[in-house]
Structure 1
């Protein structure tokens, strides 16, 4: 049993939208295929992966360092002790060979993308959905396929007005979502508050709004927003300041008693641990958004979950960034609190398998082999191109 080839293709996911920090007009991602010599139904097992939006494709790093290390390793060094499957932890260790600690940056995205494809292949070789495999190996044995999801949107874009913003949010509610999200910090505080009021005017009982500053604010601005946002019953106030400014995050708790969320731009267990140690996050109300596709993959995410447990945090406080099916499988298999969703953006990479509907803010994840990419026709069509 061995990996025959690892292929990468950098593809555009460009869009005219922007948040408070970046626009997506030139955004790309890496699409990866891990081709194995294992045959199922007359075809080789191929695992697929891609990185989340907001970080660019990492093909050069993959081709220069991480792919060669895996392909040059002795095949027997990358399989499990039973000899019947690949071992994601051994493959991860192989990719990280000769890498210094710290400075996690872009390499965490490169490794995380390949790691996703490896886990897809491992679950397919085992003949199971990834969520089932994870529940058996690392959970309580029984996955919970009913997963909370929220609709991420409310970006700034040319020609957007309040009516269009309300129409967008109505469309999410009409599709079954109970929590929607909009961007803040890309306009003045007064204008952002007017946009919030517009959205709240179309939400009903049991429906909530989350807001996301994408790390834009300094401490004074973050406090001004915190005071203004305190008048609302928001689902959360997300990433107000630089993700590594733990002092800002810790100080803000003195001005904002309601739930906050952050973590999508922390790319290692160590950085996540520093947030828990020094960021003033409150385990009874705040949310953690670590995204395995950007932070060295599921192998590292398992370490992060262990760290959270040691510090008294429940996995239920984790709602990952990224809106991809990998995190849906982790949520189902390991008991996370839910997952982000992009109903209309970053397609075909966002969203759910075909036919999956949102009902009262939740989806029922179907039982598909691996991560389940094959169940989403438009996404699998792109994956087949790289595989062929």
Structure 2
């Protein structure tokens, strides 16, 4: 078998929303299709992938460097030991050939996007949902059919006041979510506290609020917020400082006794390891948000999980950023703590397959081959347009 063609398209996911650091008015992503010569039901098996929001499409990098390496390799050098399926680890080595270590930025997004599509193809060739394949290969052979998900939103939007924020959060609660997330750091502290209290006042038993500063604060401001937020029972205080400022992160952890979360903007096992070594995080209460679609894909994510285990962290402390079905499959297959969800934003790439409902904060994994993109009709139409 072999990869016949790899296609990429840069698509807009623009929106008027903003967090504390960026707006999304010009946001894009890359959609890729890895087309194989394997047939199922009379059609070629195609693996699909895309990168998460917050980082832009990486089409030129893929076309100039990464994809040519795959297509120029000998087909047999990309296959597993059976010769009947692709080997994501071997393909990852090919994608990263002649790349210097360090500098985990845009190329990690390009590789992660292609890696997603490769795993989608691998699971489809096996005729299994990816989460079951991962449980068999790397887990305990018993996937979690139910996965915790939280609703991410609460962005700053022009002309929307407190009631608009409350209405948004109520819509998530009405759809079965028990944890919702809102942005902070894009307004003065007093205004942010008003927004927090407005949401907390509407929550019932078993419901919670997380807040996200998107790395906006310097050390002093992050600690000022930490002291103010300590008065509330928040699910977590997310990314208070620059993601690579581990010392400042540790200083925040020293004064904030409640759960912290960070990691979505760390794009390699090495950066994740530095966070664990120097960020002052606590494995019994804090949360890690590494996103495989932005950080070289699942092949690298498996290395990160191994590193965490070596350092006394459980995979159950990971709740990935991104709100995509790839991380959902990893969560179900490898025992992560859950997954982010964007019920309304970044469509059609956010959300779950059609008919998958949130019940008391959890979704039940659908029994779909691969990552399950084919079960989300609006997304699959866009994917079909690329691979047709």
In 2, distance between residues paired with 1:273 and 1:234? 26
The CA distance in 2 between the partners of 1:382 and 1:130, in whole Å, is: 21
Unaligned runs of 5+ in 2: none
Distance 1:205 1:39 in 2: 50
SS in 2 for 1:49: strand
1:286 maps to: 286
**Pair 1:198-2:198 in alignment:** yes
Shift of 1:201: 1.3
Instruction: Name the CA distance, whole Å, in 1 between partners of 2:180 and 2:11.
Output: 28
| Greater Cα offset, 12-21 or 246-255 | 246-255
Partner Cα separation in structure 1 for residue 152 and residue 311 of structure 2: 29
For residues 145 and 378 of structure 1, what CA distance do their matches in structure 2 show?
24
2-side partners of 1:250 and 1:358: how far apart? 35
Any residues of structure 2 matched to 1:40-119 within 5 Å, and which?
40-119=40-119
Is the 2:250–2:280 Cα contact (8 Å) retained in structure 1?
yes
**Aligned partners of 2:254 and 2:280 also within 8 Å:** no
Q: Tell me the distance in 2 between the aligned counterparts of 1:91 and 1:335.
A: 25
Deviation sequence 1:66-125 (CA, Å, 0-9, x none): 000000000000000111100000000000000000001000000000000000000000
Paired residue secondary structure (2:255): coil
Matches within 5 A, 1:244-283: 244-283=244-283
Residue 128 of structure 2 is matched in structure 1 by 128
Once the 2 structures are TM-superposed, how far is the Cα of residue 254 of structure 1 from its aligned partner?
1.7
The residue aligned with 1:374 is 374
Cα deviation for residue 145 of structure 1 reads 1.4
Q: How far is 1:229 from its partner?
A: 0.1
Q: After superposition, where does 1:179-190 map in structure 2 within 5 Å?
A: 179-190=179-190
Q: How does 1:1-388 map to 2 (within 5 A)?
A: 1-388=1-388
Write the distance in 1 (CA, Å) between the matches of 2:41 and 2:181. Answer: 42
Structure-2 separation of matches of 1:159 and 1:341 = 24
Q: TM-score when scaled to structure 1? A: 1.00
Q: TM-score, normalised by structure 2?
A: 1.00
Q: Deviations along 1:158-201, whole A, 9 cap, x unmatched?
A: 01101111111110001000000000000000000000011111
Residues matched between the structures, number: 388
Q: Deviations over 1:42-85 (max 9, x none)?
A: 00000000000000000000000000000000000000011110
Once residues 129 and 306 of structure 1 are traced to their aligned partners in structure 2, the CA distance between those partners, rounded to angstroms, is: 23
Aligned-partner Cα distance in 1 for 2:378–2:365: 18
1:255 CA drift (Å)? 1.2
Query: Contact (CA 8 Å) 2:12, 2:28: kept in 1 or not?
Result: yes
Runs (4+) of structure 1 moved beyond 2 Å?
none
Q: Gaps (5+ residues) in structure 1?
A: none
